[in-house]
Amino acid sequence: MRVWNFSAGPSMLPLEVLEQAAAEMTDWHGTGMSIMEMSHRSKDYMGVRDEAEADLRALLSVPDDFAVLFVQGGAQGQNGLLPLNLIQRNGSGKADYVLSGSWSVKSCEEAQRYGDIRVAGTSGQAWQDQGKEWAPWTWFPEPSQWDVRPDAAYLHVCTNETIGGVEFNDIPKLDVPVVADVSSNILSCPIDFSRVSVAYAGAQKNAGMSGIALMMIRKDLLGHAMDLCPSAFNYANIEKQQSMFNTPPTYSIYMAGLMFKWLERQGGVAAMQARNAAKSEALYGFLDASEFYTNTVHPAYRSRMNVPFLLRDQSLDALFLEQATAAGLTSLKGHKSVGGMRASIYNAMPLEGVQALIDFMTEFERRNG
């Protein structure tokens, strides 16, 4: 029996995708072997890789002057690899960071080991807006307030803060290249590559399984790595070798490829954007109408992917989680830094799963409210 899995990552995959992987597990397309037993340099595997890249390019309309890389080290690996590859791009050794929650703070802290890092904007303090006070990390610093050094090698932002449940995709056009951590909202909506010069994402939330980061990077930003950057993590080397400088996580690339095909069958990114809007609107609408549950994120910046919520009576948290699990709704416990609950509703979660959660929450409130 399959459950509705609300895990923040790794997270649920479409049953269709898992069933295809299972059917192809021991004999991929009549080769008599599994993808994971296949040379990464073989014609068959190169075909799998090439198709994954082509499909990702098509789904996100990635322009030709961008490279698409499958990089190891996950998303957090890039926190160090990005400065190693980019911070000396213009010789300045400077990079600026917008802080909007746990993940962007982590990225910024790691980068400090490699250069002169400055905070361009932060939501790490309370903000008065709409006649209310919004707590730190429950809103997003507006671009008009960003203070970006003109000689910064890049500006880093995180477009979806997975832990806080804060999302912001309206990146402005800047002279400094914008690097975006899109780990938890990639392929859930379009990316404007005239404004974002590097987008990267661990694959395990919206695009398959762990093991790789997907990266779209404007080609002119390649080739400026610091001498001490490991060769296998020099993005220019990775691009030159078509993401096979060394043996890549072949199965992770294959699984991402199956996810891309599934996304195409759903109607692509535009269809996912509409579906994700419907899912998150249903859940936020329910939370806002309730006296029993609450979401504390500023409405303009609520994530369509990760919906944190609190029970007003927190002594019911354990009971809520126990009964949710028994009802086949799993992994709803919120991150320890936020508390309460979190429903992660990435691409693979259908509206039906969100509706099942709302039905359970309605019934739980009726019994305990």
Ligand X SMILES: *Cc1c(COP(=O)(O)O)cnc(C)c1O
Residues in contact with ligand X by CB under 6 A are 9, 74-76, 103, 158, 162, 181, 183-184, 202
- Give residue number: closest CB to ligand X: 74
Peptide bond into 141 cis (omega under 30): no
- Is 103 part of the annotated catalytic residue set? yes
Nearer to ligand X, 76 or 330 (CB): 76
For the CB of residue 252, give the shortest distance to ligand X in the complex, in Å.
Answer: 11
Catalytic residue from among 103, 134, 137, 139:
103
Nearer to ligand X, 259 or 361 (CB): 259
For the CB of residue 212, give the shortest distance to ligand X in the complex, in Å.
Answer: 9
Transcribe 159-178 into DSSP letters.
SEETTTTEE---PPP-SSPE
**Token pair for 130:** 């709409």
| Positions at the binding site for L-glutamate | 41
How far is residue 154's CA from residue 73's CA, in Å, rounded to a whole number?
21
Catalytic residue from among 94, 181, 279, 333:
181
For the CB of residue 181, give the shortest distance to ligand X in the complex, in Å.
Answer: 5
Nearer to ligand X, 9 or 141 (CB): 9
Q: How many CA atoms lie within 13 A of 16 on its CB side?
A: 11
For the CB of residue 3, give the shortest distance to ligand X in the complex, in Å.
Answer: 21
How far is residue 277's CA from residue 105's CA, in Å, rounded to a whole number?
27
How far is residue 225's CA from residue 47's CA, in Å, rounded to a whole number?
29
For the CB of residue 369, give the shortest distance to ligand X in the complex, in Å.
Answer: 33
The residues near 335 (Cβ < 8 Å, ≥ 6 apart) are 8, 102, 163, 308, 342
**Selection from 119, 142, 144, 120 nearest residue 129 by Cα:** 142
**Token pair for 325:** 């699990």
Nearer to ligand X, 105 or 311 (CB): 105
Q: How far apart are the first and last CA of the chain?
A: 30
| Positions at the binding site for pyridoxal 5'-phosphate | 103, 162, 181, 204, 246-247
Nearer to ligand X, 105 or 221 (CB): 105
- Is 205 part of the annotated catalytic residue set? yes
How far is residue 335's CA from residue 342's CA, in Å, rounded to a whole number?
7
Catalytic residue from among 28, 55, 94, 205:
205
Which residues are part of the catalytic machinery? 103, 181, 205
